[in-house]
Chains A and B, each alone.
Chain A
């Protein structure tokens, strides 16, 4: 049973500070990792994808992956009030012959950026 765990929050961060969102996963064969942002009442929007150990930066966002520790994180620098949303961590694994398993999501972390 694949599981993805996230702290549900809310995580409150002052405007301009760094927001750090964490995610752990149970399946060691997980291959791909995604962070989605979801505003209330809207659908998930892709923020970052990461496949290899280490850091990947895109603008104010940095994704960090440590496969040995089964841990993936998202850092948001210079946090803005518009970053207030729920952040979903999702993992995908290689098809072992039984068909696609789709993305496995955590429950999401609710992030609040305080002006």
Chain B
């Protein structure tokens, strides 16, 4: 167990809808990263938050947005859902400072999103 939790476990939405996924980081971890993992692929970096500020973003459109709260929880919001957004969404928390390359990331169990 990594101490990282995510909700919900599974979610079904229709194209065009909006979704909010939630993550609770390990206590004391200031950094949370979100990843999208399509079937048969490795996780792809969406963005990272450090002390409630976005401090890095992957190649994802602006309809993917996030928030980080002082209580170690965070959210991933996706607007105008598309069929290709169907994937496993993973959050990972880490202890270290902003952008430390040696910062070890611990993953939550993930949310399986299906877009119909």
Of residues 1 through 30 on chain A, the ones whose CB sits less than 8 Å from some CB of chain B are 4
**Given the complex, which residues of A lie within 8 Å of B114, measured CB to CB?**
none
Interface range for B: 20 to 34
Given known contacts A99-B57, A100-B56, A102-B35, is B42 in contact with A107 (CB within 8 Å)? Answer: yes
> In whole angstroms, how far apart are the Cα atoms of A99 and B40 in the complex?
28
> In whole angstroms, how far apart are the Cα atoms of A55 and B102 in the complex?
17
A105→B109 contact, CB < 8 A: no
B109→A43 contact, CB < 8 A: yes
A44→B90 contact, CB < 8 A: yes
Highest count of chain A CB atoms <10 Å: which of B43, B46, B47, B107 = B43
Residue A63, interface by CB 8 Å: no
**Given the complex, which residues of B lie within 8 Å of A94, measured CB to CB?**
99, 101
A100→B43 contact, CB < 8 A: no
A102→B101 contact, CB < 8 A: no
> In whole angstroms, how far apart are the Cα atoms of A108 and B44 in the complex?
12
Of residues 64 through 106 on chain A, the ones whose CB sits less than 8 Å from some CB of chain B are 88, 90, 92-95, 98-106
Of residues 35 through 67 on chain B, the ones whose CB sits less than 8 Å from some CB of chain A are 35, 40-48, 50, 54-58
B residues neighboring A (CB under 8 Å):
2, 33, 35, 40-48, 50, 54-58, 88, 90, 92, 98-99, 101-110
